[in-house]
Amino acid sequence: MHLLELLLLVVGCWGWGNIEVLIDQKGGYNVTIGNRVWLRSSRTALYVDNKWFSSDDNSLPLTGISYTSGFDPNLGDYRDFQLSYDLVRSGIHTQIIGHIRDWYSGSGISFHLDTGNLTMTNTVPLDMDHVRTVFPSFYIEQIDKNDQRGYFTFEGEMTGDDNKHAGWWNPSSKVIQSGIQGGPIVLFNLSQQGEGDILVLSPFSRFMATSLSQTNSNTLEYGVMGSMLSIPANYNHSMIVFYSSQGINEGIREWGQLMQREYTRTNQHRLNDLTINYLGYYTDNGAYYYYNTEKGINYEETMVNVRHQISLPFHYIQLDSWWYYKGIGDGVSQWTA
């Protein structure tokens, strides 16, 4: 008991400003900025064998909280708080561990879930807009009348541009409209007009298998997409809550730089990209020749005329969807030039 009390006293980030994570003896966790709660945890849960096991009804009971430290070759040292849960299926016990890591070298708190040493299968899947593993999860709520948090997120096609939206961070907001199409979420203080403290919530690994989801009870949940029937043994996934005091634009840039460090990516290919360095001619949606040719001639002749009649030094021409043979959902049906 004394060890747990000591643990509760020392949980919290240091060395990078105002962000902290506080864990209580029941396994609840709050993310705070400047001693004010920004994110308050909900449940930890798993959908396996066609039913839910959850910490909120004790079908996935918390069995212990422990603390250790570790080192990541790209991001450096971190402290690791471990929440252990007992999953019992047909009399077989599996240890499920949720990790909460704060990093010395960056303004982020990451959440990792180890799903144990047994395969998790379902025959009745959930849909793609929900998740079948839940860790972490946070209430979408207005905590008090002084709570001025807002959100912004990308969603939908065109890299999330089609359905990007913003609003108040409260239970009446539909933050995630479609889990499979959703993107990172930015929380900010509306009273600072997006120029001060911000949090970026995004997957930290397994980017094609995990997503964020909003439940009917207005909680934000992260995990494996519900349509996946099987999760292999010894699987893990992670999400990051990134903090910046520099506002939305610079904060997103800093989040991107941290993600690049973790996955050893640079801007080399982007800076050498032909389409960024040179002028080009586009025929995509909104362009004059989008599904439109010059009168009396075909597309090939139209593009040749563009090249010869426009006296600009463009180095490439973009050919849009009018170019290819279409099949189901207007996708490519023949790879024929």
Buried b (16+ CB within 10 A) or exposed e, 225-254: bbbbeebeeebebbbbbbbbbebbeebbeb
Of 131, 138, 73, the closest CA to residue 111 belongs to 138
* Helix H or strand E segment including 40: strand 36-40
The amino acid present at 170, given as its one-letter code, is: N
- The predicted-structure confidence for 154-166, as pLDDT tens digits, reads as follows 998 888 889 999 9
Q: Is the pLDDT of residue 2 over 70?
A: no
Q: Does residue 232 have a cis peptide bond before it, meaning omega lies within 30 degrees of 0?
A: no
Instruction: Look at residue 337 in the predicted model and tell me its pLDDT.
Output: 62
How do 36-40 and 280-282 pair as beta strands? Answer: unpaired
- The predicted-structure confidence for 281-322, as pLDDT tens digits, reads as follows 999 999 999 999 999 999 999 999 999 999 999 999 999 989
Domains observed in the chain: 2-265 (2.70.98), 269-334 (no CATH)
Report the side by side order of strands in the sheet with 51-54.
51-54, 45-48, 133-134
Q: What angle do CA 153, 159, 165 make, to 5 degrees?
A: 25
Rg (alpha carbons) of the chain, rounded to whole number:
24
Output the pTM of the full model: 0.87
CB distance 86 to 60 below 8 Å: yes
